[in-house]
Structure 1
């Protein structure tokens, strides 16, 4: 606990009883976290925050440890009325301290947050491409008999987990299970031999239908997944695309998506992104990497 200018701050691990206050905190900075998203974060990782003398949450940060040697930091928020006290640095450092020095930590930064993360030892290694769509235009992909899209079933999970691990760069079993439970729609793509060669899901947020993660063998399969998840859904749609998929991003443009930002991807305890096989076409969300 510390006192600055007669303001008392206490940092603690946050739980399900803090969900409504975390929603209020995110709204204070114009972010659109809702109850379901925050509960997925809480059930997949650890969330910390400062509380003032009245018990109100004035900062937050989450760390999501994955199965082996990678973790993701996100939901780093400081209430506008409580900036300047070093809360962002302290709560982020608390997250860093919860994993070993051998764990690579990734985050997707805002431009405003980048100097803070650099002071904490993070370095920019890549960017993601944030796309928004106000009205989705279905763009028919050349149809073949090479693959089918089917609703996810529980028996698909083991193979699905392996597919996602190769695309993302680490196993993340707990998060993946939680995200599938949260999803509005979840599809798997199978070839003629009944092998899973693609996967995608959508999450209905308060502002946007969030599409991702999307894992696919190629651009055509990724485009088919987008069509399956976004057609006739209505409302705004968001997808964050990793670098290295120019043809897929061109396809998104034909569907009515517009690129609005390129947030930097930053790493600590590693000089580069985890090894991936170039089959990750859409990330789950910036908090999850």
Structure 2
């Protein structure tokens, strides 16, 4: 690549092949379906070289209640040291109103840049991978007042409300897009039909991604995870927020291996929006 300064662009679906190649260059596994979802609900920026090839990327997704999340921040190794990461982040920050709380899950390489832009660590994410083999969730207790069943369109409003309480912000556009992408969507439903939990599983090129998972307690989260993964013999990934020790203990006792423990950082605020304590697994690093 030439040692010239490349221009920053707003990217589109036409750039998906380049974005997939860029992701692969750093060992990440963004596939076409994932990037289409990101483009459908957010904005993606990137530098292009003289051959119109994408050499950097960053995405920002604005949710409905003054909360946004940043992810897919990548600079090709041949273009590092030119300030492209800062350019990308400044474009993302400028894409949302100034009173928006912006969150991201940082890599070790990106953390110094984010700190310099005013981001501060507020919690951490526990990233786990289960190499293979079916997960055996405990049987549903006889005293349980709910069943785990496939999600229907009629359940969406209740799922969106549970998700809002768990995350601290409405994100119906994300949920609708993620449902279309998901391999499995389940809800925990009482006999009266009340939705009290939900979980999605998305098949990526390497991992079955379990999340989001929202539940009243760790036992319900375990039931949802078991049902989401029960027919999957391959690798499973799940990213768990701080504050769920019983759920984390179950993962560690059932073949999940901790891959990393990255910081959750925010700007324009000193904390995440208030949460209900029911968030057991995030959708993916980019979605917060």
Flag whether TM exceeds 0.5 (same fold): yes
Residue 104 (structure 2) pairs with residue 107 (structure 1): yes
Partner residue of 2:226? 227
Distance in structure 1 (CA, Å) of the matches to 2:88 and 2:112 = 15
Post-superposition offset of 1:58: 0.5
Deviation larger for 132-141 or 268-277: 132-141
Matches of 1:111 and 1:247 in 2, distance apart?
27
Write the deviation string for residues 80-111 of structure 1: whole angstroms up to 9, x where unpaired.
11101110110111010011110000000001
Give the deviation of 1:74 after TM superposition.
0.3
Does residue 150 of structure 2 align to residue 151 of structure 1? yes
Check the 8 A contact 2:135/2:230 in 1, yes or no: yes
Uncovered stretches (5+) of structure 1, i.e. residues with no partner: none
**Does residue 126 of structure 1 match 2:116?**
no
Aligned residue in 2 for 1:192 = 191
The correspondence for 1:69, drawn from 55, 66, 85, is 66
TM-score (norm 1): 0.97
Q: Note if contact 2:185-2:199 (Cα within 8 Å) is conserved in structure 1.
A: yes
Shift of 1:274: 1.3
In the other structure, the counterpart of 1:177 is 176
Q: Match of 2:89?
A: 92
CA distance in 2, matches of 1:116, 1:159: 39
Q: Does 1:208 align with 2:207?
A: yes
- Does the 8 A contact of 2:140 with 2:223 survive in 1? no
Does the 8 A contact of 2:60 with 2:68 survive in 1? yes
Q: d(CA) in 1 for partners of 2:93 and 2:27?
A: 25
Per-residue deviation, 1:6: 4.2
Equivalent residue of 2:40, what SS? Answer: helix
Any idea what SS the aligned residue of 1:8 has?
coil
TM-score scaled by length of structure 2 = 0.97
2:49 matched to which residue of 1?
52
Runs of at least 5 residues in structure 2 that lack an aligned partner in the other structure: none
